[in-house]
Amino acid sequence: MVPGFSLHDELQSLSESGMTNAQALYAATAEPGSWMKNNTGKIKAGYNADLVLLSKNPLEDIKNTKTIEYVFFGKNWIDKVQIAAILKAIEEANNANRNIKIDEYNR
């Protein structure tokens, strides 16, 4: 599992390969934490975990992992409006970088 945008695609691939949605979610969360033995990946006393609040149930359709309403991390949280603004800024920065011609950097 790779964190970021590709995580949604990887979860869908796991689901399409025959895993239940619950198994795919476990493979992306609790299982890596268990393997690393670092008390992450579960919402449980004594564990460190970030939390994503969704508007639709990913157990019904794994694509519902994209219906993010809030992300809680550490002592912070952001909502979908803030997430959209961050994603827009990333997209604009990426697009701006694509407009730079390599010959501008010749010595």
Instruction: Look at residue 26 and give its three-state secondary structure.
Output: helix
Listed by start position, the domains of the chain span 5-77
Specify the amino acid at residue 89. Answer: A
- Segment 5-31 mean pLDDT: 92
Element containing residue 53 per DSSP (H, E)? strand 51-54
pLDDT range class, residue 104, cuts 50, 70, 90? low
pLDDT at 21: 97
pLDDT digits (tens, 9 = 90+) for 67-81: 999 999 988 999 999
The pLDDT score that the predictor gives to residue 3 is: 59
pLDDT digits (tens, 9 = 90+) for 21-66: 999 999 988 887 888 888 888 888 888 888 899 999 999 999 999 9
Q: Whole-model pTM?
A: 0.75
pLDDT band at 101 (very low <50, low <70, confident <90, very high): low
